[in-house]
Amino acid sequence: MCRDDYESVLDNMKLADGTVWPLPICLGVDEEFAKSLDTGECVAMRDAEGFMLAVLTVGEVWQPDLEREAKVIWGDAVEADSVNASLSSLENPWYVGGRIEGLAFPQRYDFTDIRLTPAQVHRYFSQKGWRKVIGVQAGRPLHRADRAMLEEIANEEGASILLSPLMFPSMYSSVDHFTLVRCMQEFVGTFPRNKALLNLMPWFERKMGPKGALLRAIVNKNYGCTHMLVWDSGKAEPRLNVLTDEFQAHIDWLVEQKDVTGIVPIKERCMVLDEGRKEYVSSESGKLCANDHNGIVSLLTRGKEVPEWMSFPGVLDALKKTYKPPSKQGFCLFLTGLSGAGKSTMAKVLYVKMLELNDRPVTLLDGDIVRTNLSSELDFSKEHRNLNVTRIGFVASEIVKNGGIAVCAPIAPYPESRRQVREAIEQHGGFVEIHVSTPLEVCEQRDRKGIYAKARAGVIKGLTGVDDPYIDPENPELRIDTSDLTPSEAVQQVELLLGTLGYI
């Protein structure tokens, strides 16, 4: 968008020519690049790997008021401090507007048989005689209660279903893209062939409330839909069937826009299991909904059987590849503490103990091993210490993702890098932080490498615990002071914890 369109969208939800459009779509660049551009100049638009997708002919360059933009989109409640983080990864973005000429679609190599363009979807509907189609986008796997809801709605409307997975920002995501699509394939397979179609839209969920839903309605219309399911995504599952004023207002507003969008909004229904009829029905107000994906995930991760009435065998098989009980997950043992605290000795014993179990591959990532083989060029500045730890976290996350056990023993003195490692690993499996809290005076007495003596003598600088801080973890899974423990006794505490958590 150029500035006239941008301002008109913010003010009136319309482009400058009067076309309804609810959200600004802009190209953000840094100030230096923005000031290097001239009107009429061509800019190559490339993906992360440098593949050229389009050419932008520069029409206008300007600096937006991000706080105003955020308040228009999310309302006055948005905090000014969160505006930049919400709208741009750039510290001081400028917008570039102009005409875009497409050269190629983004390159996709996954599920290529279900990536139909809008024209191809229209043709499919025409061939099948589908005059009414409900667009259903979902960011989580769907189960028996969801199928009953969709079937009930489709029968009432005399419509078929176009189902598309939604990919959320990571903070909202319930499952990875590939698992979600595989679950959707199994779910669509439970419908008659002339009732539902699965297709991957190039849509990224923006979490922008009613205006985001209106943009989704326009996209659904472009794909040939006549109706759209609107989820009450503001509530956690499981939930009571209580229609909030906010969600009702959301639906009412979308209904008001249906003459413009050509899309009839349909609100999500809460389903309950009728024990007598052994089928799902729409619930009365106040009932606990059976549309409960989180409950199914909880059963899978605890190694419990999922009752047949909750989901379909194919969907569960797809989920079981991602959601495993702790005894089948990869996990990371992350030992942190001062030099001489006993981390490396414990790590070596734990490495052997985990190998003894012989049910998962085990990798030892001791601090010295990593410094030699992974981070030899790094010094001991705070920046490089954090980088060393995050490198360990990356390697460990790959090990855990593939079902292995990573035993890590860096000093890791700073909370920010420890947090990054935890976040990277917990996406794929278990993370057990063990603070080896042996006091500094005990570590100095041990001083097998003589580094504390050198630090006290001023020979070396920046030693953790002497002239560089070690910040204790706030909430580790375990703290162990090895002052009066043998390595075997210390490791026994870890093994007991792993047994309690279900990892062994």
Q: 227 has which bridge partners?
A: 134, 264
Please check the confidence at residue 474 and state whether its pLDDT lies above 90: yes
Residue pair 131/103 in contact (Cβ under 8 Å)? The answer is no
State the chain's mean pLDDT as an integer.
89
Query: What is the pLDDT, as a whole number, of residue 170?
Result: 45
* Residue 436: strand pairing partners: 480
Token couple for 6:
């941008």
Percent of the chain with pLDDT over 90: 64
SS3 441: helix
Q: What is the CA radius of gyration of the chain?
A: 28
Report the distance separating Cα 408 and Cα 367, nearest Å.
Answer: 7
Q: Which domains does the chain have, with CATH numbers?
A: 3-102 (3.10.400.10), 112-320 (3.40.50.620), 326-501 (3.40.50.300)
Q: Residues with Cβ < 8 Å from 407, sequence gap 6 or more?
A: 332, 333, 335, 347, 350, 351, 354, 362, 363, 364, 365
User: For residue 208, what pLDDT is reported?
Assistant: 74
Q: What CA–CA distance (Å, rounded) separates 158 from 6?
A: 39
- The pLDDT of residue 85 is 45
Angle formed by the axes of helices 3-12 and 66-74, nearest 10°: 40
| Cβ neighbours around 253 below 10 Å, total | 15
Of the given ranges (214-218, 272-276, 309-313), which has the lowest mean pLDDT?
272-276
Residues 190-196: what's their mean pLDDT? 92
Q: Does residue 111 have a pLDDT over 50?
A: yes
Residue 303 has pLDDT above 80, yes or no: yes
CB-CB contact of 88 with 24 (8 Å): no
Q: Report the C-alpha gap between 161 and 133 in whole angstroms.
A: 5
Percentage of residues in the chain with pLDDT exceeding 70?
Answer: 92
Quote the pTM value.
Answer: 0.81
Higher pLDDT, 380 or 426: 426
Total count of residues recorded for the chain: 504
Any alpha helices (H) in 358-437, and if so which ranges?
367-373, 382-401, 415-426
pLDDT > 80? residue 319: yes
Using the predicted structure, report yes or no on whether residue 15 has a pLDDT greater than 70.
yes
Q: Using CA atoms, how far apart are residues 18 and 273, in angstroms rounded to an integer?
A: 47
Residue of 194 and 97 predicted with greater confidence:
97
Q: Which amino acid is at 488?
A: S
Largest distance between two CA atoms of the chain = 86
The predicted-structure confidence for 61-98, as pLDDT tens digits, reads as follows 999 998 888 888 877 766 554 554 445 567 788 999 99
The two structure tokens encoding residue 347:
């790590």
pLDDT of amino acid 282: 86
For the record, the structure tokens of 261 come out as: 């969008």
